[in-house]
Amino acid sequence: MKLDVDVLRYLSKDDFRVLTAVEMGMRNHEIVPSDLIDRIASLKHGGTYKVLKNLLKHKLLHHDSSKYDGFRLTYLGYDFLAIKTMVNRGVFTAVGRQIGVGKESDIFEVACEDGTVMAMKLHRLGRTSFRAVKSKRDYLRHRSSYNWLYLSRLAALKEFAFMKALEEHGFPVPNAVDCNRHCVVMSLIQGYPLVQVKQLQNPETVFDTIIGLVVRLAEHGLIHCDFNEFNIMIDDDEKVTMIDFPQMVSVSHRNAQMYFDRDIECIFKFFGKRFNMSFEEQSDDIDGSEVDEDESGRPSFSSIAKTAGFLDKELAASGFTRKDQDDIEKFIEGNAGDDVSDDEHESGLCQTNIKGFDSLHLDQKEPTSSCNEEEQGYENQHSLEAGLTGNPEGQNSSNEEEDNQNADENDAELMKSLAKQRRRAMAAARRGRKSVASRNSYKDKGGKSSNNSKIQKQLSSW
C-alpha cells in the first residue's frame, strides 16, 4: 500500500468534518446511511454530497447501496483521520517510506520538524483474519460496534499502554510517543528483525538475553504471546529490543502456561536452527534469574515467581481497561503465534534521508492526480514502498491563514460538535420524525433513495 499523503494536504475542513461524521456513524453502523452522515456533519453551507463524492474519489470512503445508500471508512480514510490528529498535535510533520508490513499492521517512518525520525504503526486488525473477525463476532454479539475499526483502535491502545508500562519497568522496547485511533507512534529502532539476521557474534549471549526477557516478563505478570524472530529487533551491537504487544496476556490467563511455553519454544527452535545451538549444556542461570528448567533446558513456568495484577493496575492507568483487554483477547486468541511477516531487510533502514519525506501542509488546493490505490490492494501488500513522492512545487503554505485556522480547529471540539449532532439525530429518530438538526437541503443524487424507516430503526438502536 502506498500511503499517498499528498491527498491529505488538499483535504478541506469540510472534507475532514464529513470524514469524521462517517467515523462517528460507524460506532453503530457498518455502513452509515447518507442521511445520517449529512445530519451529523451538518455543514454550514450544505454540500455533503459533493464532499462525499470527493472523499470517495480519493478512496477514503467506500460507497455501499446494497441495503440502503451509505458509506463506510476505508483503511485509508481512517489513516488520514489519525495522521491529521497527530500532525495537529505536533507529534510529526511528515510521513516517509513504509518500513514494515506486519501480520496486521503497516509501519511507516515519520519525521518531526527537527528531523527526528520515528516509527508509525497503523493497526489493521482483521486484514489477514477477516474470516476470524466474522466468526468471532459471536463472542461479542451484543456489541454492534465490534468491527475492524474498533478492534484496530483497541489494538493500538493496548500496544501503546503496554509499551509505556514496559519501558517504565526497564524492558528494552521502543519509546511510546503517542497514540490515536489505530495509530501508534514510537521511537524508530535502529536494527533489524532477528529473522533477517544470519550471523551473530555472540549467539549464546543474545539467546540468554532473549529467554531472560520472557522470564522477566512472566515475573512481571505478563506473557508476550508472539515472541519470535519477527518481533525481536537486534542492532549492530547485538542489543535486543522487543516489539509488537497487542496480543500480550496476563500470567493469570487460563492458557498462560501454553503461551509461555510456546514463546520459549519459538526461541529455542529458531536459535537451534539458525545458529546451530544445542541447549543441553545451557547454564541454569538464565540472565540472572533463578528459574528451574526442564531436562531440555527450557525454563519452567511454574517455578517463576510472578507478580500478577500488573495488567489491571498499571494498564488501567493509561486508559486501557480490563474490558478492553477482554474484548481484544477474544479476537486475538488463536491468531497469535503465526506471524508471517514478509518484511525485507533494507540496509538503509536507519539512515533516513529526510528528503524522502512528505511534509504535511494540510488543507490545500486540489491535487493534480488522485489517489488510485484499490482498498483491496492492501491485503496483498508485501513489498516495501520506497519514499513517498516529494512536495509538488509552489504548493506549500499558499493559504497560510486558512492553514492556521485549520490547525487551530481542535479535534476535541470537532468531535464534541459532531457528537452533539449525532445525539440530536438520535433523539429525532426516537421521536419518529426527521431530524431538525440539518441545516442543509442535502439530497442524495447518486445512489438509491434512502430507506428512512430502516435508518430510523437503526438510529433508535443508538
Across the strands, what pairs with 100? Answer: 107
Question: Which of 231, 325, 406, 435 is close enough to bind Mg ion by CB under 5 A?
Answer: 231
100 binds ligand ADP (CB under 6 A): yes
Choose among Mg ion, ligand ADP, none what residue 217 binds, the Cβ cut-off being 5 to 8 Å by kind: none
Q: Please state at what angle helix 34-41 crosses helix 452-460, rounded to 10 degrees.
A: 60
**Among residues 25 and 193, whose Cβ is nearest to ligand ADP?**
193
Q: Of 39-47, 98-106, 163-171, 276-284, which segment contacts ligand ADP by CB under 6 A? A: 98-106
Across the strands, what pairs with 232? Answer: 242
Distance CA 72, CA 74 (A): 7
352 binds ligand ADP (CB under 6 A): no
Binding mask 243-262 for Mg ion (x = CB under 5 A): -x------------------
In whole angstroms, how close is the CB of 105 to Mg ion at the nearest point?
Answer: 7
Contact partners, residue 394, CB within 8 Å, separation at least 6 = none
| Element containing residue 391 per DSSP (H, E) | none
358 binds ligand ADP (CB under 6 A): no
Name the phi and psi angles at 245, rounded to 5.
Answer: -115, 5
Name the phi and psi angles at 179, rounded to 5.
Answer: -145, 135
Do 33 and 40 form a contact (C-beta atoms < 8 A)?
A: no
**Among residues 25 and 126, whose Cβ is nearest to Mg ion?**
126
111 binds ligand ADP (CB under 6 A): no
Q: Of 13-21, 224-232, 356-364, 398-406, which segment contacts Mg ion by CB under 5 A? A: 224-232
Q: Of 38-46, 227-235, 291-299, 360-368, which segment contacts Mg ion by CB under 5 A? A: 227-235
End-to-end CA distance of the chain: 34
In whole angstroms, how close is the CB of 61 to ligand ADP at the nearest point?
Answer: 25
Active-site annotation, residues: 226
Q: How far from chain centre, in Å, is Cα 169?
A: 24
Taking residue 260's Cβ as centre, other Cβ atoms within 10 Å add up to: 28
**Among residues 92 and 230, whose Cβ is nearest to Mg ion?**
230
108 binds ligand ADP (CB under 6 A): no
103 binds ligand ADP (CB under 6 A): yes
Binding mask 312-351 for Mg ion (x = CB under 5 A): ---------------------------x------------
| Rg, C-alpha atoms of the chain | 24
Q: Which residue's CB atom is positioned nearest to ligand ADP? A: 102
Cell of 328: 481484544
Q: Angle at CA 222, nearest 5°, toward 219 and 224?
A: 125
129 binds Mg ion (CB under 5 A): no
In whole angstroms, how close is the CB of 157 to Mg ion at the nearest point?
Answer: 17
Across the strands, what pairs with 293? Answer: 299
Cell of 254: 487460563
Q: Which residue's CB atom is positioned nearest to Mg ion? A: 244
Characterize 49-75 residue by residue with b for buried, 16 or more Cβ atoms within 10 angstroms of its Cβ, and e for exposed. bebbebbbebbbbbbebeebbbbbbbb
| Element containing residue 275 per DSSP (H, E) | none
Contact set for ligand ADP, span 36-55 (CB under 6 A): none
> 70-73 and 240-242 as β-strands: parallel, antiparallel, unpaired?
unpaired
Question: Which of 47, 100, 102, 299 is close enough to bind Mg ion by CB under 5 A?
Answer: 102
Enumerate binding residues for Mg ion (CB under 5 A). 102, 230-231, 244, 339
Enumerate binding residues for ligand ADP (CB under 6 A). 99-100, 102-105, 107, 119, 121, 174, 186, 188-189, 193, 230-231, 243-244, 339, 341, 343
